[in-house]
């Protein structure tokens, strides 16, 4: 996976190509999701990320959805079913939430099993991203969760849902996640990234994908800088 140093400025297309343009508010309507897809096409983002209930969506960009979102507190077989159903409805990427309580308890074997269950239900070429809710975990728990994701065949580890009171993405967590998974997996920074400066900080720390709801504003900042 290619990462960018903080000394290498990103072009518009490079940054847009790293963005999952996201809409996950519970009050979102099908019309909102359709508008998100149109905006993503205009902005040139890599994908959109929407709730499973919004599928299928007619769009020329890649389609990602979430699984067991936002709590992660459902059984592995339920996560597997949800992921498989989303793939049938057109999802190309699945962002699943791990059981954070099991991560707190140090049960990395469980974490690996539930990720593997979703991986088997949504096999490659579907992209599987594993949300570990990094702001709620210790460094040791972040490392253990990332290692479990790697063993279970995930494609990405992801910082946050953006809904946990502990907070969203941090450069520290992204750096630790990148160091743990190496270049074999992607690292997605998501949650609370609202400025170009914050986006660049995450990329410099090792993020290869960004989950953004304010994509237009951030890309607009980049254009204004040029």
Contact 30, 22 (CB under 8 A): no
Among candidates 157, 127, 162, which has minimal Cα distance to 141? 157
The answer to whether residue 95 is catalytic is: yes
Partners of 190 in the β-ladder: 211
Please, what is the angle between helix 30-43 and helix 215-225, to 10°?
20
Which residue of the set 20, 79, 95, 155 is catalytic?
95
The C-alpha atoms of residue 174 and residue 6 are separated, in whole angstroms, by: 14
Number of residues written out for the chain: 226
Which residue of the set 79, 129, 150, 158 is catalytic?
158
**Positions marked catalytic:** 95, 158, 188
């Amino acid at each position: 996976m290619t990462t960018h140093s903080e000394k290498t400025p990103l072009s518009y297309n490079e940054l847009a190509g790293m963005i999952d343009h996201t809409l996950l508010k519970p009050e979102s309507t099908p019309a909102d999701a359709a508008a998100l897809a149109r905006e993503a096409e205009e902005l040139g983002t890599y994908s959109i990320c929407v709730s499973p209930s919004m599928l299928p969506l007619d769009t020329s960009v890649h389609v990602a959805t979430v699984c067991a979102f936002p709590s992660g507190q459902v059984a592995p077989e339920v996560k597997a079913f949800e992921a498989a159903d989303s793939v049938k409805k057109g999802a190309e990427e699945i962002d699943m939430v791990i059981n954070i309580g099991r991560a707190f308890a140090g049960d990395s074997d469980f974490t690996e099993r539930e990720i593997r269950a979703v991986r088997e239900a949504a096999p490659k070429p579907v992209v599987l991203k594993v949300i570990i809710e990094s702001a709620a975990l210790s460094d040791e728990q972040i490392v253990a969760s990332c290692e479990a994701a790697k063993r279970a065949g995930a494609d990405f580890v992801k910082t946050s849902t953006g809904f946990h009171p502990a907070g969203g993405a941090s450069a520290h967590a992204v750096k630790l996640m990148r160091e743990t998974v190496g270049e074999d997996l992607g690292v997605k920074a998501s949650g609370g990234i609202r400025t170009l400066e914050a986006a660049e900080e995450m990329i410099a720390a090792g993020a290869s994908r960004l989950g953004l709801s304010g994509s237009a504003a951030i890309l607009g900042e980049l254009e204004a800088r040029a």
